[in-house]
Chains A and B, each alone.
Chain A
Amino acid sequence: DVKVTQSSRYLVKRTGEKVFLECVQDMDHENMFWYRQDPGLGLRLIYFSYDVKMKEKGDIPEGYSVSREKKERFSLILESASTNQTSMYLCASRPRTGGSLSSYNEQFFGPGTRLTVL
């Protein structure tokens, strides 16, 4: 059974704290993604990684950084948490497929981490 796991389901932090959200996948996927989900806004891409140590900014990278030291693990870092980063954070992974099938594969999602910043 393929799996994407996230370190916490619920997290409460204080403003200014450094926050680490961890994501691990066991499917040997090259691509990994971090999204935040807010009511009425759907899923917005924060960062993604297409290989170890490689990263690309998504649509809303401000206030976030990421780390991918191993293929199976993708970490999202909030350097100094703020209240407007209170949200649901979703991690996903996806295998790489080349050529005309590059868009074929779906993303596999973790259960999400609901982060509250006080």
Chain B
Amino acid sequence: AQKVTQAQTEISVVEKEDVTLDCVYETRDTTYYLFWYKQPPSGELVFLIRRNSFDEQNEISGRYSWNFQKSTSSFNFTITASQVVDSAVYFCALNYFNKFYFGSGTKLNVKP
């Protein structure tokens, strides 16, 4: 069975702090993709990144970085120097045969 766990329900930080959102997944498959989405207050989920199960290279995009570790089945997301506009709910998801399995989401509050 596929499962994604985001243990952090809600995180509050002050602007410019770094923050890491955790994601742990379960799957028996060897080929899969992991995704991160952002859901701002407007409601629409926005795609951030995908990662193939065979590619464990970390990725950096501006203030965002992702750490994929197959050994611990984790795909964590770090925001460096957070900004108020980063306030949103963030979802981690696992794709398996056309079905996405989403975590319960982490609500990030960035205060000025």
Partners in one complex: yes
- Do the beta carbons of B97 and A104 come within 8 Å of each other? no
- Do the beta carbons of A109 and B44 come within 8 Å of each other? yes
B74-112, CB < 8 A from A: 91, 95-100, 102-105
- Do the beta carbons of A110 and B44 come within 8 Å of each other? yes
Q: For the complex, is B31 an interface residue (Cβ under 8 Å from A)?
A: yes
Question: Per-residue 0/1 for B46-60: is the Cβ within 8 Å of any A Cβ (1 yes, 0 no)?
Answer: 110010100000000
Quick one: given A43-B91, A111-B42, are A106 and B35 in contact (CB under 8 Å)? yes
B interface residues, tally (CB under 8 Å): 26
- Do the beta carbons of B99 and A48 come within 8 Å of each other? yes
Quick one: given A45-B100, A103-B96, are A111 and B32 in contact (CB under 8 Å)? no
Quick one: given A104-B33, A111-B43, are A42 and B102 in contact (CB under 8 Å)? yes
Q: For the complex, is A84 an interface residue (Cβ under 8 Å from B)?
A: no
Among B9, B33, B37, B44, contact of A103 (Cβ-Cβ < 8 Å)? B33
Q: Which residues on A sit within 8 Å (CB–CB) of B13?
A: none
Q: Which residues on B sit within 8 Å (CB–CB) of A88?
A: 43
Among A40, A58, A109, contact of B45 (Cβ-Cβ < 8 Å)? A109
- Do the beta carbons of B98 and A50 come within 8 Å of each other? yes
- Do the beta carbons of B102 and A102 come within 8 Å of each other? no
- Do the beta carbons of A90 and B45 come within 8 Å of each other? yes
- Do the beta carbons of B50 and A102 come within 8 Å of each other? no
Q: How far is the CA of A114 from the CA of B43 in the complex (A)?
A: 10
Q: Which residues on B sit within 8 Å (CB–CB) of A12?
A: none
- Do the beta carbons of A103 and B95 come within 8 Å of each other? yes
- Do the beta carbons of B50 and A106 come within 8 Å of each other? yes
Among B9, B47, B50, B95, contact of A40 (Cβ-Cβ < 8 Å)? B9
Q: How far is the CA of A90 from the CA of B45 in the complex (A)?
A: 9
- A interface residue numbers (CB < 8 A to B): 9, 31, 33, 35, 40-45, 48, 50, 58, 88, 90, 92, 94, 100, 102-104, 106-112, 114
Cβ contacts A to B, 8 pairs, < 8 Å: A31-B98, A42-B102, A42-B104, A43-B102, A48-B98, A58-B99, A103-B95, A103-B98
